[in-house]
Each structure stands twice: as C-alpha cells, then as structure tokens.
Structure 1
Amino acid sequence: MKKILLCALFLCPQPLSAGGMEKLVEKHYEAPGLKPALWGLDIRYSQGEKIYSLNADKNLTPASILKLFVTAAALEIMGPEYRFETGLYAGGEIRRGVLYGDLIIKGWGDMTLGSGNFGSSPEKVYGEWLAVLKAKGIKEIKGSVKADDTLFSDYQPGSWAWQDIANYYAARTGALSINDNLYRIFLRPGKKEGEKTEFLRFEPEMPLEIENLVVTGPEKSGDNSYIYGLPWYGKITVKGSVQKQDKEFPVKGAIGDGALYCAEAFAKYLSVSGVKTGAPAARIKGKQDYQKLVPLHSGFSPELREIINVTNKKSFNFYAESLLKMLPFRGTGSAGESEGFSELMGFLKKCGIETGDLWLEDASGLARTNSVKASDFTKLLNFMAGRPFFPLFYESMAYPGDPGAGGHIKKMGLGRNFEKSIRIKSGSLKKVRSYSGYLRTKKGRLISFSSIINNYSINPAELDSIHEEIFSFLYENY
C-alpha cells in the first residue's frame, strides 16, 4: 500500500508552490495591521486556471485599478486608432474680414485638447485656431466666442468626497475641455516646518479669491494639500502642507467650468493678437444645427491607444471619466454617464463578469462606494489576453522604473527577479490599496492577478513589499 501511495505521489506530484503560496499569504495576513483588514486576492493563469484565491468573490473598494475596466472597454468598443474631435465653426457670413455672427468651439469629447501629457498646450491650440481665422481672412468677430459642450453633462459623480472635488484629479469632464481642465496655484514654502506658505499666483490666471492655510511640511514630504471649493462659487480654501524647499511649489486645482474657460481664454488670446470680438465669451445654450454653420476647422486627439497609455500609467482620472462618457459615441452618436455605464456593463458581461454584483459610481476609482470583486479583474484580464489588441493593453500598464508612470508603483519591483516580466496597475485611497495586472513567469506562463486590501493599518510601503514577495514567488515557481 505504501509503495502504491509513493508511486502515486511520484506520478502526480504536488508542487511546493501550491502550499508555499498559501503559507506566504497566511503569514502576512496574520501580521498586525493587516489581520483586521479584508484582503481579496485572485491569481490565475491567463487561460483561467486558478493558482490561488482568497476572498476573491467578496465585493471591495478597488480604487484606481477600476480604470482597467473603462480602458479595456474603450479598446474593444472604439478601437485603438479612434480619435476625438474638436470643431471650429462660423455662426454667420464672412465678408471683408468680418465674421457676422459667433465663432463657435464645438467639443466632441476630446479630453486631450491642449494637454501637456501629449506635448501640447492651450497656447499651441489657440495659435492653431488663430492661424485658421487668418487663413479665412477673419480680422473681426461681430458676435462672441462661444463654447459648445452640450454633447454631455460635465457634472462630477455625486459620491466623490468634498475634500476631492476642487482638486485637479477630480476635474469635471465635459465635451469641451482645455489642458485637462486644471490650473496651478504657486506657493512659497516657509524657511521652517510649520511656517505659513505665501500665495504667489495662479497659472493660468483664474478669477478666484483664495484663502491660503497651507503650511510648510518636512523636506521631501511632497504635496499634502487639498483645495476646497465649488465649481461655480469663485472662492477656494487651500489647507494642508507642502514640502519645505527653496523654490516655489505648485499645487494643481480643477477649473470649475472648462468649456467657458476655454472660450474666454481664446477670446483673450484673439484680442491680444488683434482680432476684435463684439461680446464677451459665453456658453452655447441649447442644441445647434451645425449643418447650417460654416465649418472652419477640425482638430483631432492622439489615437485612443496613446490616451489609454496615459490613463493607466499615470492613473489619470480625467481621462477615465471622459472615456466612460464617450464609450457609446462611435456607435450611436450619443454620450453621457448613464449611456457610458450601459456600454461598460455590456462589455463586462462579455468578459464573463456578473454585473448584478457590481456597484460602480465612476470609472476612475475615486469613489469609495465602488464595489468590485478581485475575481472580476482577473476575468477582465484573461478576456483581454485573448484579444488582438492585447499587446496595447498590456503595455498601457506600468513596469518597474517606467518613466511614463507616476506614484509608488514606479519604484515597485526594481531589482527583483520579476522586474522585466510584470505589468501592473495600482490603486490607492485612504485605507485602500490594490494591484492588478500580468506576470510572465520564469517558465514563460502568463499569469493574471488582482489584489485588493481594504481597511489596513500598516504603512502602505509594507504592502508594496508584501506584493513584491508574492510576485517573486510566482515568478520562480509557476
């Protein structure tokens, strides 16, 4: 009997890795600071075979790994070469250098217009538009510069925190935006920790009253300030701290009305350039019949593949929320948050995800009320591994030392055995940390993983180290 048993074990050996992974996870989960937390972990081969799971079917707050949903859906629904458009229209006749009517900027959802993420700027965009007017011989506009972002509403998700909504990472997403709808507040830190900072200026100039309560923090402590304000209020309060340094420190805020700002800034640019306007810049009210207007210019965004690359590597909320609203546009001509969620849910069902168990408030992961399983992400990742544009999706995630990435994930895994074999999207909110992506093992097998930790009390850097250990073990043993 013993010989038969030994033979069976020899023919069907249980790999050390199976029990080793369980022991590795249990060791860390029992540690102080992580033991009270809820940890959802799902690790599978890309064909779907389970390697290890822990609370994989428990709904948890995912933070920014949620962007994988909308970026994958955008590739599937729109295609990687898709570009978003912005149009310039004349609302009247052009005679002897005069436009008898309004100059209309029509937004069709290009979230990258004038963005430094793609080597552009508002000045480059305005210069291009001015060149168009000069080519048409327009030296005066009897009407005004008007912004049309009526394709969809620019409201922020109602579940976003008061602490967030005036900051750049929570900027309102409209069909017409400029420079990611952000501005900068420049502060001068004090000479000592705890000293008040001095407000220097806004860039670009903003019609805002500012109450500056920011103090000077320790060197290399970064930006720990928050802007408080409402989009339509005209007053902001800035609290928190910024690191001690000799040079001025920029804090990024969200422009309250991106479309109107774009029109106003361009009107000012025209005035400085010698082109007169007859009335102040304004928003378009109601729908316009563009068949009756004179098209002057159409500008296009970078390809969708490039936008997704920035969205995932930099964890750019503004693009994720914009992509959600634009998901149905190519197929139906309509856009908006509810329409976008409908398209997204249809795609997730296609991935094999039980959408009835999901609760999504946004596409970026900023809402703490989002509720998703770790296994939902591995299902998505495995589905994408079989799509023809998988290499684009894979490369949109960060790798150790990635110059295009931001935050803690840029340094994670440097010098480890898996350094050149991982692509990862991370997420973080207060008491939330998440990791999701792909790992190519030493044996050449592709693994999909997703890890979500809620309500931990250890240093977040320790969670990075724990996951480095897990990835190292997977790389060597599977």
Structure 2
Amino acid sequence: MMRMISKRFFLVAGLSAMASAGLARAPERSLRPQSRPAGGAVPPKTPSAAALIARAELGGDVGFAVADARTGLVLESGNARLGLPPASVTKAVTALYALESLGAGHRFYTELRVAGPIRDGVLQGDVILKGGGDPTLDTDRLAEFVRALKAAGLREVKGRLIVDGTALPSLNEIDSDQPEHVGYNPAISGIALNFNRVHFEWTRANGVWNVMMDGRSERYRPEVRFAKMQIANRDAPVFTYGRKGQEDHWSVSAQALGKGGSRWLPVRQPELYAGDVLRALARAEGLRLPAPEKGVAAGGAPVLLRLESADLRSICKDFLKYSNNMMTEMVGLAATTARSGRPVSLKASAGEMSRWARVSLGMGASRFVDHSGLGEASRATAEDMTKALVAARPVIAPLLKPVAMRDAKGRVIKAHPMRVHAKTGTLNFVSALAGYAEAPDGTVMSFAIFAADRGRRARLKRSEREAPPGARSWNRRAKGLQQALIERWGALYGA
C-alpha cells in the first residue's frame, strides 16, 4: 500500500511536470486576471487582493496562493514564499504522510493479555493492557475487555495490572507553550483513552462543592482515582497541575467556577488513566484488579482480546474534520515509527515528515515541529501548500470537510456559487485555510491562505493563551478575508 500511494502521488497528481512547471516559479505579486468574454465578463468592481487584505486590518503578515487544481498553473499569489505558522493545516500534510507510510487500510490495536493460568477464578499472574497506537479507544470499547475477563471466569488477579504504552514515544504534552489545563494539549503515548482527557464536573449546594473526575463515554461514567481535584480559595491562576507519584493533582479557583459546570482536562499519565478506568469498570462487574502500573508487556503472554480501530483513511478524515490534536500526533508518530522501525521523539518525527514533504510534495520551504500544528514554530508557505494540494488532490480532497460561505452576520449562505472543501487552522492571532474551491463553471482551484500577527502573539503570557483579548475579533476578520479572497477568485477565474 505504501508504494501504491506513492505511485499515485507521482504519476496521477503529484509532482508531475505539469504541476511542477505551474508552481515552480510562483510570482510574489498578484497576476493580472484575464477578462472573460460576454456572458462571463469579470465584474468591474472586483476588489484587488491587496485591498481585501488592507480592509481586514489584521496587522502582521498574509500570504496566499491559488492555482488551477488540474494543471497546477498559478492564478494569483501574494507573499506566497513567506513562511508562516500553518496551525492545523499541518494536519493535512500529516494525513498524507501517514497514508503513504502505513497504508489507507492500516488499523491500530489495543490488546488484553493474561500472563499465567486462571485457577478457580483467580489469575496467578499479570493482566496486561497493551496499546498499539489506537487514538480512538474510548471507555465504551474498554468495557469489552472487562466482558472478556468475565467470560474467561476471572474474579481476581494475584499479579499486577500492567499498562504498556511503549508502541509510541511518551510525551508529557504536545506543546509546552500552551496553558497546562487545556484539553487539546494532552500527553501522548502508545495507549490513549477518551483522547487522553478526563472529565471534571462540579456543582455547589448549600455552600458545599461536589466534584467528580471521571472517564465518561456514551454508555459509562466510571469515576477515576488517579486524577484528583481540589477547590482553592484564590482568584488566579484558574488551574494548577502537579504530578504526585501515580496521581495527577489539579486545583481550581473557586471564584472561577460559579454554581456548577464541567470541562475536559488533559491527562498527563495515559497508561495510569486507561488502567484506572479499566479497574473501575471491572470493579462494577465484581472483578478485583490491582492498581495499574506503567510497564512493558512480557513476550509470550497470550492475547485474551484484541480490539482494532477503524481504518487509517477513516481516522484521517475524522481528525481533519474535528481537528483533534492528539489523534493527529499519534498517527504521525506511528507513521515515523513504521518508517524508522522504532519510536522517536516528536521533534525527530516532525523532522522526518518535513523531509518527506519536501521530497514527495515539493514543500521545500516548509518545516514542521509537530504533526498537529499546535506548535507555533512550524512554518509553511502558501506556495508550498498549494503545490502539495495540486500534487495530492486525488488522496486528500475526499478527506477534507466542506467549509460554508457566510453572510455578514455569520449565517450560512446555502445557495452560494462557490463550493469549498478545506482544512482550517487557528491559533491565537494565527489563521489558516487551505484546500479546494470549485467555481460555478466547474473550475477547481487549489489554494492556501496564511495570516499571522506574530508580534501580537509573542506578547501573550502563557496564562492568556486560552482566550486572549482581541483574538476572537481578529479571527473573525481573518475568516472574512479568506472568504473574500475565495469569492474574488471565483469571480476572476470561474464563470
């Protein structure tokens, strides 16, 4: 499968002479559009790209490029060779990297092993939960392991409960510059549960706080013991985190809670979280399991049950749709592990993807520091991204979600003549959009738009990065610019 996808990149759409010729020397200034004949004439008041950018008042830098998706011919560009943070647009590159490295039909797994005989309902050995890099495992599926243990006649374990996440490297978080409490920046390892997030819920009655930490899914809400929450009488910070042995310890400002609510918090010890939830599910069924330990599965232990994920193509489509950082990082790390034969650091894995993108997609000026785009040090150019989209269109286009065009009040314009499928990307004062726009006459354009006010972003404190002042309005103007540019291209290059 790896060879088949590579061949498709090179022979069907990727780096063909036609696409390369069109994008090799993309101009840094907008090309003069060609007028259309009567019946399809260019509207006389179509604003220039420069005017649209000035009207958005974003500050910082904007880079963009648009090309004919079939031929690779550049239609218009501006600052197209300027490297800017691609944010979650990086996920599109990761999807292509993983699909070639692992194959579209690849499935990840999680296994339950038993090391020892079961006598009179007692296991004279260890229970082993081994992760195989599945980013989609949730509590509902974890419960299937408990049913398997029960079906085997198990009531008690004399040995240990070992959770093995060594299939992938262990990361405390994806990006150290993010606030420590945001659920989109969890730990990474070879096992994940509920996207490595724990659910924190609180209520207050008669002056007393009731707090619950659980690993909930659609059917189950098992309370966890490894994650603790303390209500603190302070104004700031809102959250603090500390690791104490086998436990994650959180505290939260009482003044920030109101009367009640809930949110997801990141898990920093994925193995212990998965083991803790498995133990809670087993306890509810009358099975006694020991406290989980992080370890390595012993060779030769028989597999009691093996659960597999959906195929990789479906997983890629999901993380592109929902922009899930943890899923993307696990898939990208798995791709590098398959290529190198061993787990490597996130930095090394992102470097390998950067080299692959340079060779396979022609992205010579782009560099990535992770697979999800969460790290702001990644750089991509609009020229590179547009080139990649031309090259990989048969593979990536079906995986991108539709992006609605909206009116001035944010309402979807259902009959808008432009159809857009793309990947969005958002960081504070960073906005990106890259994908395909189809004009009314059927012309399909590949495009990339990157905008960033890096100076304003650099002045943010870590504690401000979840919702800094001005970020929401800036992002709204950036999205307005993206739509205005797409509408301009539709007017100029599509009937």
Report the secondary structure of 2:357's partner residue: helix
Partner of 2:151: 135
Partner of 2:367: 359
Kept in 2, the 8 Å contact 1:111–1:176? The answer is: yes
Matching of residues 19-30 of structure 1 within 5 Å: 23-30=47-54
Give the CA deviation at 1:435.
Answer: 0.9
Unaligned runs of 5+ in 1: 1-11, 115-121, 191-195, 216-224, 403-407
Match of 1:276 among 288, 292, 311: 288
Partner of 2:12: none
Distance 2:404 2:53 in 1: 28
Query: Against the structure 1 CA distance between its residues 84 and 305, is the aligned structure 2 distance closer, same or farther, given a 3 Å change threshold?
Result: same
Match of 1:89 among 113, 117, 141: 113
Distance 2:317 2:256 in 1: 29
Give the CA deviation at 1:134.
Answer: 2.7
| Mapped pair 1:39 → 2:62 | yes
Report the secondary structure of 2:307's partner residue: strand
Give the CA deviation at 1:43.
Answer: 0.8
Kept in 2, the 8 Å contact 1:147–1:263? The answer is: yes
Aligned residue type for 1:260:
L
| Mapped pair 1:453 → 2:469 | no
| Mapped pair 1:104 → 2:128 | yes
Kept in 1, the 8 Å contact 2:167–2:343? The answer is: yes
| Mapped pair 1:474 → 2:489 | yes
Give the CA deviation at 1:32.
Answer: 6.9
Report the secondary structure of 2:391's partner residue: helix
Give the CA deviation at 1:341.
Answer: 2.9
Kept in 1, the 8 Å contact 2:351–2:369? The answer is: no
Report the secondary structure of 1:80's partner residue: coil
Partner of 1:14: 34
Partner of 2:18: none
Kept in 2, the 8 Å contact 1:84–1:110? The answer is: yes
Aligned residue type for 1:255:
V
Report the secondary structure of 1:268's partner residue: helix
Distance 2:412 2:360 in 1: 29
Question: Percentage identity across aligned positions?
Answer: 20
Query: Against the structure 1 CA distance between its residues 55 and 189, is the aligned structure 2 distance closer, same or farther, given a 3 Å change threshold?
Result: farther
| Mapped pair 1:310 → 2:309 | no
Give the CA deviation at 1:33.
Answer: 2.5
Query: Against the structure 1 CA distance between its residues 162 and 445, is the aligned structure 2 distance closer, same or farther, given a 3 Å change threshold?
Result: closer
Kept in 2, the 8 Å contact 1:441–1:475? The answer is: yes
Partner of 2:359: 350
- The one-character-per-residue Cα deviations of 1:177-220 (angstroms, maximum 9, x if unpaired) are 11111122224699xxxxx99774333445323346899xxxxx
- The one-character-per-residue Cα deviations of 1:7-27 (angstroms, maximum 9, x if unpaired) are xxxxx9932699989942111
Match of 1:368 among 360, 376, 381: 376
Give the CA deviation at 1:422.
Answer: 0.9
Kept in 2, the 8 Å contact 1:159–1:369? The answer is: no
Report the secondary structure of 2:136's partner residue: coil
Partner of 1:422: 420
Aligned residue type for 1:53:
S
Matching of residues 60-209 of structure 1 within 5 Å: 60-114=84-138, 122=139, 124-156=140-172, 159-163=175-179, 165-187=180-202, 200-204=211-215, 205-206=223-224, 207-209=227-229
Partner of 2:273: 261
Give the CA deviation at 1:346.
Answer: 4.0
Kept in 2, the 8 Å contact 1:21–1:52? The answer is: no
Give the CA deviation at 1:153.
Answer: 2.3
Output the TM-score relative to the length of structure 1: 0.78
Unaligned runs of 5+ in 2: 1-31, 216-222, 457-469
Kept in 1, the 8 Å contact 2:181–2:265? The answer is: yes
Output the TM-score relative to the length of structure 2: 0.76
Distance 1:22 1:77 in 2: 44
Aligned residue type for 2:353:
L
Matching of residues 299-448 of structure 1 within 5 Å: 299-330=307-338, 333-336=341-344, 337=346, 340-341=349-350, 343-355=352-364, 357-385=365-393, 387=394, 390=395, 393-400=396-403, 414-415=413-414, 417-418=416-417, 421-448=419-446
CA RMSD of aligned residues (A): 3.5
Aligned residue type for 1:95:
R
Give the CA deviation at 1:339.
Answer: 5.6
Distance 1:240 1:66 in 2: 37
Report the secondary structure of 1:442's partner residue: coil
Kept in 1, the 8 Å contact 2:174–2:187? The answer is: no
How many residues in Structure 1 have an aligned counterpart in Structure 2? 423
Partner of 1:118: none
Distance 2:315 2:335 in 1: 14
Query: Against the structure 1 CA distance between its residues 58 and 22, is the aligned structure 2 distance closer, same or farther, given a 3 Å change threshold?
Result: farther
Query: Against the structure 1 CA distance between its residues 13 and 131, is the aligned structure 2 distance closer, same or farther, given a 3 Å change threshold?
Result: closer
Partner of 1:3: none
Query: Against the structure 1 CA distance between its residues 182 and 372, is the aligned structure 2 distance closer, same or farther, given a 3 Å change threshold?
Result: same
- The one-character-per-residue Cα deviations of 1:233-291 (angstroms, maximum 9, x if unpaired) are 743344699899xx9532211112111111122123223322233x422111xx5442x
Distance 1:55 1:367 in 2: 22
